C-alpha cells in the first residue's frame, strides 16, 4: 500500500508542444489514459528521458500532444487510448506489486493469467500481504481511486499474535502517531468467536492506506501481524475469488461517493450483517481469468451465484472474507497451535 500525493500540474513550458491543436492534452494524461502508468509515474519516466514525441525526447511533463503526434516510450510507440477496464485480483503472498523488482523477486504482473491487457495497480499490497488488489488499464482512474482524498475505505482481516487491549483498539478511531507518523481514524475490533488463543483475528477499516499502516499501528499496540488480507477497497470486495484469479468489473462511471471511515463503517458488526455482494456484473457473462489457463474462462455471475467457499478442485482454500457465523474458523492454523506461514 502506498499513499500518493496529489500531482499538481506544472506550469506550461515553452519550446516543447504548443498544445494549439484540437484535442490536445498533457503528455502525462495521455500516457496515463493509455495505461502506461499513473501521471506521477509518467513524470518520472519523462525526467529519466524515456519519453519522446515525434522523435524529440522530452525534458519536462509540461507538454501537450495532439491525437496526431507520435508518442514513444523507450523507442516503442505508445498505443491509442483504450476503453477503461477495471479488474479485481486475488493477490497471493510473496509477490511484489510492481512491474519490475530490482532484487528479482516475483511480481504481480509477472504472475497474472494470460489474455489481459497491460494493467497497473490501484494502490499496492506489500510482499507478504494478500487479498484484493484492483487493476486497471487507465492511469487516471488509478490515481483517482488511490488518493486518500477519494475517501474510499480499505477493509482488512489481520491475524495477530499478542494480547489485545480492547480499550486501546477502540481508541484507534481517533487516529494514532507511530514513530512520528500520524495515521488517521481506524475502526478495529476482534472478530467475534476468534478472541482467544495466541493468535487473534481482527477486522480493520481505514481510508488512508499509508505504507505498512496496519502492521505498524498494530505493532504499536504490542501485536505482531502474521497474516494480512485485504477484503474490500471501497465498494469492491474480494468475495470468493480464488488466489491468483482475476475477475473483470463493470467499467466505472462517476467516482464512488467519498465518505469517511466513520460514515462507511460506523459499526463493523452492522456491516457484516448487511454486506452486499461484490459489485460485479449480474446476469451478464463476464470473464474470469484463471492462473495457468491459456484462454480466459467465461464465468456467469448472477442471482444464482452465492458467496462462500469456491467450488471445484481448487476450492479447498477458505474464503478470505470474514465468516458470516461466529462458529466458523478463519483460514490459517488454529489458535494456540500449528505452524504459521513463513513470512
pLDDT digits (tens, 9 = 90+) for 243-293: 999 999 987 754 444 433 333 333 333 333 444 433 433 333 356 777 654
Examine the residue annotation and report whether 245 is marked as an active-site residue of this protein: no
**Region 91-119 average pLDDT:** 92
Q: Which of 77, 102, 137 is the last residue of a domain?
A: 77
Interaxial angle between packed helices 139-146 and 39-47, expressed in degrees from 0 to 180 and rounded to the nearest 10:
120
Q: How far is CA 95 from the centre of its chain?
A: 13
Lowest-confidence pick of 82-86, 194-198, 211-215: 194-198
Statement to judge: residues 177 and 274 lie in one domain = yes
Instruction: Note the pLDDT of residue 173.
Output: 95
Burial pattern 138-153, b for ≥16 Cβ within 10 A else e, equals: bbbbbbbbbbbebbbb
The answer to whether 96 and 115 are in contact (CB under 8 A) is no
CATH number at residue 185: 3.30.2350.10
Higher pLDDT, 236 or 322: 236
Whether 285 and 264 map to the same domain: the answer is: yes
pLDDT single digits (tens) 57-69:
999 999 999 988 9
Mean pLDDT of 153-159: 96
Asked, for residue 14, whether it belongs to a domain, the answer is no
Section 46-55 average pLDDT: 94
Indicate the residue among 57, 77, 97 that finishes a domain. Answer: 77
At 50 the pLDDT is 94
Q: What mean pLDDT do residues 20-30 have?
A: 79
Q: Let me know whether 46 and 90 are in one domain.
A: no
Of 326 and 51, the one with more pLDDT: 51
153 is a domain residue:
yes
318 in any annotated domain: no
Total domain count, the chain: 2
Do 157 and 199 reside in the same domain of the chain? Answer: yes
Most confident range (mean pLDDT) of 18-22, 26-30, 268-272, 332-336 is 26-30
Domain extent at residue 243: 86-301
On whether residue 114 sits in a domain, the answer given is yes
Q: Are residues 174 and 110 in the same domain?
A: yes
Are 243 and 204 part of one and the same domain? yes
137 contacts 120 by C-beta, under 8 angstroms: yes
**pLDDT tens profile 318-331:** 455 555 544 555 55
Residues 42 and 177 in one domain: no
pLDDT above 90 covers a percentage of the chain that reads 46
Q: What is the pTM of this model?
A: 0.65
For range 221-249, the mean pLDDT: 96
- List, in sequence order, every beta strand (DSSP E) within the chain: 25-26, 51-53, 56-57, 64-65, 71-73, 76-77, 86-91, 120-122, 130-136, 154-161, 176-178, 181-183, 186-190, 199-206, 224-233, 236-237, 246-249, 284-289, 297-301
CA distances from 272 to 132, 269, 276, 277, 333 (A): 17, 5, 9, 11, 23
Residue of 126, 138, 174, 179 marked active site: 126
In a domain, 16, yes or no: no
- What is the percentage of the chain residues whose pLDDT exceeds 70? 67
pLDDT for residue 317 is more than 80 = no
Q: How far is CA 211 from CA 128, 170, 306, in A?
A: 13, 22, 34
Claim to verify: residue 39 and residue 136 sit in the same structural domain: no
Average pLDDT taken over every residue of the chain: 76
**Domain holding 67: CATH number?**
3.10.290.10
107 or 13, which is more confident: 107
Question: Is 181's pLDDT higher than 90?
Answer: yes
What is the structure's pLDDT at 291?
67
Task: Give domain status of residue 319, yes or no.
Answer: no
User: Per the domain annotation, does 222 fall within a domain?
Assistant: yes
**Residues 70-97, mean pLDDT to the nearest whole number:** 92
Q: Do residue 112 and residue 134 come from a single domain?
A: yes
Are 73 and 181 in a shared domain?
Answer: no
Beta strands in 184-283 (DSSP E): 186-190, 199-206, 224-233, 236-237, 246-249
**What pLDDT is stored for residue 41 in this prediction?**
85
Q: Are residues 233 and 132 in the same domain?
A: yes
Domain match, 138 and 32 both = no
> Does the pLDDT at position 153 exceed 90?
yes
- Residue 12 falls within a domain, yes or no? no
Amino acid at each position: 500500500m502506498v499513499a500518493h500525493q496529489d500531482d499538481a500540474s506544472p506550469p506550461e513550458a515553452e519550446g516543447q508542444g504548443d498544445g494549439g491543436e484540437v484535442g490536445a492534452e498533457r503528455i502525462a494524461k495521455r500516457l496515463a489514459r493509455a495505461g502506461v502508468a499513473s501521471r506521477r509515474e509518467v513524470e518520472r519516466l519523462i525526467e529519466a528521458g524515456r519519453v519522446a514525441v515525434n522523435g524529440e525526447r522530452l525534458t519536462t511533463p509540461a507538454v501537450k500532444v495532439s491525437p496526431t503526434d507520435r508518442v514513444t516510450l523507450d523507442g516503442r510507440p505508445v498505443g491509442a487510448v483504450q476503453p477503461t477496464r477495471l479488474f479485481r485480483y486475488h493477490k497471493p503472498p510473496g509477490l511484489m506489486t510492481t512491474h519490475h523488482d530490482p532484487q528479482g523477486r516475483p511480481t504481480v504482473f509477472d504472475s497474472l493469467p494470460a489474455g489481459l491487457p497491460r494493467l497497473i495497480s490501484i494502490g499496492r499490497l506489500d510482499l507478504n500481504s494478500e487479498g484484493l488488489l484492483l487493476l486497471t488499464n487507465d492511469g487516471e482512474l488509478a490515481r483517482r481511486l488511490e488518493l486518500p482524498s477519494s475517501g474510499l475505505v480499505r477493509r482488512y482481516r489481520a491475524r495477530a499474535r499478542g494480547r489485545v487491549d480492547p480499550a486501546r483498539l477502540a481508541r484507534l478511531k481517533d487516529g494514532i502517531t507511530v514513530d512520528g507518523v500520524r495515521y488517521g481514524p481506524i475502526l478495529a475490533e476482534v472478530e467475534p468467536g476468534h478472541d482467544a488463543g495466541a493468535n487473534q483475528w481482527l477486522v480493520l477499516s481505514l481510508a488512508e492506506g499509508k505504507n505498512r499502516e496496519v502492521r505498524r499501528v498494530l505493532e504499536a499496540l504490542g501485536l505482531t501481524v502474521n497474516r494480512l488480507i485485504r477484503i474490500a477497497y471501497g465498494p469492491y470486495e474480494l468475495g470468493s475469488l480464488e488466489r491468483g484469479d482475476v475477475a473483470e468489473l463493470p467499467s466505472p462511471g462517476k467516482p464512488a461517493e467519498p465518505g469517511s471511515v466513520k460514515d462507511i463503517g460506523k459499526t463493523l458488526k452492522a456491516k457484516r450483517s448487511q454486506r452486499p455482494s461484490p459489485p460485479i456484473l449480474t446476469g451478464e457473462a463476464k470473464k474470469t481469468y484463471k492462473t495457468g489457463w491459456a484462454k480466459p474462462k467465461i464465468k456467469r455471475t448472477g442471482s444464482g451465484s452465492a458467496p462462500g467457499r469456491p467450488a471445484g478442485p481448487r476450492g479447498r482454500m477458505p474464503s478470505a472474507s470474514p465468516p458470516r457465523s461466529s462458529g466458523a474458523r478463519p483460514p490459517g492454523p488454529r489458535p494456540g497451535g500449528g505452524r504459521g506461514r513463513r513470512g
